[in-house]
Each structure stands twice: as C-alpha cells, then as structure tokens.
Amino acid sequence: MKKHFILSAAFLMAATGVCAQQEAGTWTLAPKVGVTVSNFSGKMPAGVAYAVLPQMPAGGSPGLIIVTGDETTKAGVVGFDDSKQKFGFAVGAEAQYQFTDVFGLSFGAFYTQQGAKYDTKGFPYTSSDGVKVDFNDDLKIKLNSITVPVLANVYVWKGLAVKAGLQPEFTVSKKTSGDVTISYKDQSASVASNTDAGIKTFSLSVPVGVSYEYRNIVADLRYHFGVTDLRKGGDTGWGSGSSSKSENRTLLFTVGYKFGL
C-alpha cells in the first residue's frame, strides 16, 4: 500500500512538472502555426461587375468586358450576400510575461487568412438585355491580415488557461476572387476575377479562448468576435436589403512551442 502511494505521488509530481505553466517573473516566446475558419456577421456583399461595350476602353480590358458592334453599353453587377465559412491558415509568434502563478499577459503578431465564400458555382444569371454571366466556382472574399493579439491569460489548472483580450487587425490584401464567364450573342469572355473587396483596412476584434501546455507544447483555441464594421461606407451602394454592419467572425486553432527567454 505504501509502495503504491509513493508511486502515485511520484506520478503526480511528474505530471505537475511537465504540465506546469511558466514561473512568475519570466518571459517566454512561442512560435505558432494553425488553421482558421472564418465568416462575416450580417450580410457582407460580394459581387462581380460586367460590361458589354461598343469599343475597347483606352486602358484595355481589365476584366469581364466584351466589345461588340452595338451602339449601346450594357453593364451591371451580380451580387450575393449570403456568406459561408472559409478555411485558411495562420502563422506567427507570441511573447508572454508571467506576473504570478495564475496570471500572464501575452503579445503576438500573426499572418492570418480570413474572409468568406459564397455558394455561386453553377449559378446562372441573365440580364434583361441578354447578357449572361456564369459562375464556374464559388466566389470568395479573401482577407490576408496582420493580427496583433493582446491577451490576459488566467491559469485555472496546471497548464490550462482561459484567455481574453483585444486584437487589432491590419488587412494587407482584400480581394473578391472567382472564375466567371460573361456571354453576349456569339461572344464570351472568361476571367479569374480578382477585384478589391471594398473592405476597410483596419478592424478590431475580441478574442476569447483556452490553451493547454504540455512539455512546452501549447495548443490554443480562440474565437474572435469582430467589433468594428468592415464595410466601406456602411450600406452606401448596397441597398436597403443589406445588414447595416458586418464584422469578422473567426475560429483559430494553433499549435506552438514555448521557449524560455
């Protein structure tokens, strides 16, 4: 019985040693890599513009344009606002200072893929003046951002922490992409659409989540609630059917390795 007790105590001490978070008064650095599942709140519009022109513009053809002998110009936008989840990845690093045994503050920087997709593949559209637009795959809004999470970490058990904070996000690329074909009479043009998504460069979100540390390996799961409207000009140009606000919604899972500094 005594032998079993000693073995159990030794096991618990070993488990405590490998799962314990960093000591108070120390710094750590953790490179991390992971995946994102993102979408937008509200109704974030995504659209493709097309034109049928009497002659080629002076700057050439930038996208879905057909030149015909017709004297009139036919132009329009095919829009969607029912967004779906989009998968991406994230890579970066976080530094953390441990104030006490149960409280630490972390600062990080990540390259993060966010955005959403729209179920447009195979969607047929024909305008009242005979212009046909075919969607050969799903439209996607692709947001590539530098995110800077600042988090309070509270350790509720050995190695297990709950966290919350604030995250500024700086978008470095924001495109609406998709393979689209325009047809009019006996002419057609296809393009891998890659146009500006009309989204603000700066946004702010509130991340909340949990993490677990084991032998310096850190698994982290966070959900980001966007708190700023992403759309330039709000409802301007989108019509009354669109939601007045649209924010980021992102689930982030990362795995990293903690180094002592």
> pLDDT, tens digit, for every residue of 154-196?
999 989 999 999 999 999 999 988 888 888 887 877 766 667 7
pLDDT digits (tens, 9 = 90+) for 73-112: 888 889 898 999 999 999 999 999 999 999 999 999 999 9
Element (H, E) at 261: none
The pLDDT score that the predictor gives to residue 102 is 95
What are phi and psi for residue 113, nearest 5 degrees? -95, 125
Q: Give the Cα separation of 229 and 208 in Å (integer).
A: 19
Q: Which two tokens stand for residue 15?
A: 């488990």
Looking at the chain, the whole-number percentage of residues with pLDDT higher than 70 is 80
Q: Give the Cα separation of 205 and 254 in Å (integer).
A: 18
DSSP code at position 19: H
**pTM of structure:** 0.82
Domains of the chain (ranges; CATH) run 25-44+82-260 (2.40.160.20)
Question: Which residue spans within the chain are E strands per DSSP?
Answer: 27-40, 46-53, 65-67, 74-80, 83-84, 86-98, 103-118, 124-126, 132-135, 139-147, 150-157, 160-184, 187-196, 202-214, 217-226, 248-257, 259-260
